[in-house]
Amino acid sequence: MSKKFAKIQHNETCEEVAKKLYDQMYDRHTHIAFTGGEPLMKAAQKNTVKILTEMERLLGRRNRFTNITWETNGTRPLDNILQNYLQSIEHTTEMFFSVSPKLWNTAGEKDGIQPEIVKQYHDLSEVGQLKFVCNGTDASWNEIEESIISFRKIGVNYPIWIMPVGATEESQQDNAKEITIQTMDRGYNVAARVHCYIFGNQIGT
């Protein structure tokens, strides 16, 4: 972890995390989201099961969490422990996979498009989305279109969202308008970096 984020890092047990989440659930039906880093790393998956199991104990049988979201890059297969647990609660809990594949032309990352792995998420829950970060270049758009085709061919039918590149408020002004127009022209959904507009460049928000 970068030193600039050290002050917001916490070291707690799964039971302590579950209790904190439980205390925030004002009606015992609050939406829970696991984000990152990457929440589907192998160790994180095992800890997720521990957290959710402890929350079930705190909630009791009559109150169950109704929605769980994973914000993932779509490159980590589901561990059997997590997959079996989620299958055991799928009739009472909506599971939403927000998949943000990392593109070579935008993020400079190789092997970021893993349709077979995302199909595993889709087989577990058809509720989710594919969200691509676009820098507005032809190369970025071409890679997005090719990636969508690969996901569709394997049966991943999540809706498509496009987010303009940029981690700061200033960078959002560079090409967000043009990317938004192209996104709508191509028939996709626009995902704004809302935290940039609300909190600016403050770390930890």
- Name the residue with higher pLDDT: 68 or 62: 68
- Are residues 114 and 69 both part of a single domain? no
For residue 172, the model assigns a pLDDT of 57
- Are residues 94 and 112 both part of a single domain? no
- Name the residue with higher pLDDT: 139 or 22: 139
- Are residues 94 and 115 both part of a single domain? no
Here the tokens at position 118 are 């995302």
3-state SS assignment for residue 32: strand
Average pLDDT over every residue of 159-166: 91
Which of 39, 72, 99 is the C-terminal boundary of a domain? 99
Report CA torsion sign: 186, 142, 197, 23: positive
Residue 160's pLDDT band (cuts 50, 70, 90) = very high
Share of the chain above pLDDT 90, in %: 59
- Count up the domains in the chain and report the number: 2
- Are residues 56 and 120 both part of a single domain? no
Nearest to 131 by CA among 139, 123, 118: 118
Q: Is residue 2 situated within a structural domain?
A: no
The answer to whether residue 200 scores a pLDDT higher than 80 is no
Nearest-angstrom CA–CA distance, 119 and 147: 13
Q: Is residue 176 situated within a structural domain?
A: yes
* Domain range enclosing 110: 105-205
- Are residues 180 and 87 both part of a single domain? no
Nearest-angstrom CA–CA distance, 117 and 124: 11
The answer to whether residue 197 scores a pLDDT higher than 80 is no
Q: Is residue 205 situated within a structural domain?
A: yes
For residue 125, the model assigns a pLDDT of 96
3-state SS assignment for residue 47: helix
Mean pLDDT of the chain: 86
Q: What is the pTM of this model?
A: 0.86
- Are residues 29 and 91 both part of a single domain? yes
The answer to whether residue 23 scores a pLDDT higher than 90 is no
- Are residues 193 and 123 both part of a single domain? yes
Average pLDDT over every residue of 65-69: 87
The answer to whether residue 71 scores a pLDDT higher than 80 is yes
Q: Read off the CATH number of the domain in which 52 is found.
A: 3.40.50
- Are residues 16 and 56 both part of a single domain? yes
Q: Is residue 3 situated within a structural domain?
A: no
Residue 173's pLDDT band (cuts 50, 70, 90) = low
- Are residues 77 and 112 both part of a single domain? no
Q: Is residue 76 situated within a structural domain?
A: yes
For residue 171, the model assigns a pLDDT of 56
CB 140 within 8 A of CB 146: no
The answer to whether residue 117 scores a pLDDT higher than 90 is yes
DSSP strands (E only) in 136-203: 160-164, 189-190
